[in-house]
Structure 1
Amino acid sequence: MDIQWRKSSKSTDSEGNCLEVATEGGEILIRESDDPGVIIRTTRAKLRAFIDGAAEGEFDDLT
């Protein structure tokens, strides 16, 4: 089965510089469109925790 990658409709970069997401076997897959060979695999719960942390500013002081 082919993976069906999706990107945001707000991603209009003609260079292809965007993130794409897909699901496979209960996992969330994330890749950069300009480097499609590198795929991050995670779970919905872990991705939700990351997004919530980013929204709350948990990573703002990373230098």
Structure 2
Amino acid sequence: MAEEVNGAGAGDVRARKERERDELYALDISGVAWECAPGTEQHEERVEIAHLPGGAVAMRSSLDPGTVLRYTEAEWRAFVLGARDGEFDLEPAPRPGGPAAG
């Protein structure tokens, strides 16, 4: 019986998240104001974000402005907190010629 309750709860959460995603992607964002990190030039490659209703956020690359990812407020908050904690820190890429190259 407990499994049925837990299973139904998980299904409810999944359905709610799908509904939130569908609503988020149904929003007309043609008039949103895109922001980028301070100090970046208009011609530079950069990540741009736009704040959407309900605390949601849209994100795109300046190189491909037609491809837009959208995040709920909870998803964006989790991402930002993870980035602040270093979860997405990249290891330095190896330099051509190995470690001795300078």
Fold conserved (TM > 0.5)? yes
| Higher relative contact order, structure no. (Cα contacts within 8 Å, ≥ 6 residues apart) | 1
- TM superposition shift of 1:43: 1.8
Matched residue pairs, number?
61
Unaligned runs of 5+ in 2: 1-29, 92-102
Higher strand share: 1
Greater Cα radius of gyration, structure 1 or 2: 2
What residue in structure 2 maps to residue 24 of structure 1? 52
Q: Report the structure, 1 or 2, having the larger helix content.
A: 2
Higher mean displacement: 18-27 or 31-40: 18-27
Report the secondary structure of 1:9's partner residue.
coil
Trace 1:22-61 onto structure 2 (pairs within 5 A): 22-26=50-54, 27-60=56-89
Q: CA RMSD in A?
A: 2.4
Q: Percent identity?
A: 34
Structure 1 pair 61/29, CA: closer, same or farther in 2 (3 Å)? Answer: closer
In the superposition, the TM-score normalised over structure 1's length comes to 0.69
**Could you state the TM-score of these two structures normalised by the residue count of structure 2?**
0.48
Q: Which runs of 4+ in 1 moved over 6 A?
A: none
The 3 A distance-change label for structure 1 pair 54 and 8 is closer
d(CA) in 2 for partners of 1:42 and 1:25? Answer: 11
